[in-house]
Amino acid sequence: MLNRRVALTLVPLVVILASAAPVLLNRYWLFLVTTLLAYVIALIGLKVLLGDAGQFSLGQAAFIGIGAYSAAVITERYSLALPLEILAVMVICGVIAAIIAIPALRVSGLRFALVTLAFGELLQWFLRENKNVTGGEQGLYTPPMLLGPIDGKSQLTLYVVALVLALIFSVLAWHIPSTKVGRAMAAIRESPLAAESVGVSAWRTKLFAFVFAAIAAGISGVLIAHVSGSISPTSFGLFSSIYLVVAIILGGARFVFGAWIGAIYLVLVPALFTTIGLDSVYVVLSGAVLLVVIMVFPTGIAGVLSRAMRSRQNSPGKVNA
């Protein structure tokens, strides 16, 4: 009930703001907001994997990388239009995630995180060594997306595509917790014993979450490749994965809205600090903010907002049975 009410106010708000954005923003800000939307999608993947299923991955940036490099190669060499490109990236990321899942999902907790970390490092090595495909350390220039008669070079088009995809993923992730597999995720997160006793297959449930997260990251990578125009291995390394985890925890891993807040923290906040000329302050400040949020608000910023809204709804003369 609360979720529905929040969604009913937030979704139109986001849509209105989002459709107004291109008019209000200059080129630079449009670039930033599109990047932000791309990260929203990757963070929604993490929301499902970490927030819902409770699995801690340090490989999310690696999947963004796979999506970005695949997008670059696919548009350059095979001239696929965007829908096919996205489909191809979904298949690539889904299959790779399923293969990694075979060893990774046998273990859980810290060891699962380490397996995903190892995978990320392996990808780094692959990207740097296979120069003729990936361009090595320098990386690749990424061609604009191909969209038939629509102008794929236009930033506005890319922005709209990113917005639509981010909204689709938001709705899906919002719906997942109330499904059968969503309840299975809650069970493996909160009580593995209860999960087993009702016949939840922990492996299959984690596989779903892991593949979902990988596909979301892949699509995010497609957008990042096209919006930034060039890609290199460093953007998809361990540090990026850590920042993604930090962002979703800060935003609120149990909330779809947490992914949006996390993306703002990842993309907009550093840009703001750069604009006002305080780059170095950002690093210190973001560390301090993170510390405070984790200590004081374990459910993240979205958790605090949601609780505040709930208490406001309940307070004016409403009696709860």
Partner 1 sequence: MTELTLENISVRFGALTALSEISFTMSGPAKIGLIGPNGAGKTTLLSAISGFVSPSSGSVRLDNLDIMKLPIQSRAEKGIVRSFQTARLLDEETVRTNVLLGCQPIAGPGSIRQMFATPSYRKWNAKAKELAQEIEQIVGISDFSNVQVAKLPSAMRRFVEIARVLVAKPKVLLLDEPAAGLDDTERRQLERILHRISGQQPTLMVLVEHDVAVVRNVCDYTYVLAEGRLLAQGPTSEVLMDKNVIEAYFGGADHA
Segment near partner 1 (CB under 8 A); pick from 26-34, 179-187, 275-283, 285-293: 179-187
Q: Of 19 and 179, which CB lies nearer to partner 1 in the complex structure?
A: 179
Q: Cα–Cα distance between 25 and 278 in angstroms, integer? A: 22
Q: Which of 76, 129, 137, 196 binds partner 1 (CB under 8 A)?
A: 196
Site string for partner 1, 204-243 (x = CB under 8 A): x---x---x-------------------------------
Question: How many residues of this chain bind partner 1 (CB under 8 A)?
Answer: 26
Return the axis-axis angle of helices 110-129 and 238-251, rounded to nearest 10°: 140
What is the rounded distance in angstroms from the CA atom of residue 31 to the CA atom of residue 154? 11
The tokens for 215 are: 């596909």
Per CB under 8 A, which region of 7-15, 29-37, 200-208, 213-221 contacts partner 1? 200-208
List the structure tokens of 91.
Answer: 């298949």
Residue from the set 199, 277, 316, 317 that interacts with partner 1 by CB under 8 A:
199
The minimum distance between CB 113 and partner 1, in angstroms, equals: 22
Among 106, 131, 153, 175, interactor with partner 1 by CB under 8 A: 175
181: contact with partner 1 by CB under 8 A? yes
What single-letter amino acid sits at 293? V
Buried b (16+ CB within 10 A) or exposed e, 90-116: bebbbebbeebbeebbeebeeebbebb
Element (H, E) at 140: strand 140-141
Picking from 142, 55, 139, the residue whose alpha carbon sits closest to that of residue 101 is 55
51 binds partner 1 (CB under 8 A): no
3-state SS, 90-119, equals: HHHHHHHHHHHHHHHCCCCCHHHHHHHHHH
Q: Is 143 or 182 the residue whose CB approaches partner 1 more closely?
A: 182
Tell me which residues in 68-97 interact with partner 1 (CB under 8 A). Answer: none
Which CA distances in Å does 16 have to 19, 202, 247, 297? 5, 40, 25, 29
Stretch that binds partner 1, among 14-22, 39-47, 170-178, 278-286 (CB under 8 A): 170-178
249-268: contacts with partner 1 (CB under 8 A): none
The single-letter DSSP state of residue 149 is T
Cβ-based nearer residue to partner 1, 201 or 313: 201
Residue corresponding to tokens 């060594």: 129
Question: CB of residue 216 vs partner 1: minimum separation in angstroms?
Answer: 12
Q: Which of 82, 86, 100, 176 binds partner 1 (CB under 8 A)?
A: 176
Q: Which residues contact partner 1 (rule: CB under 8 A)? A: 1, 172, 175-176, 179-184, 186-187, 190-191, 193-194, 196-201, 204, 208, 212, 321
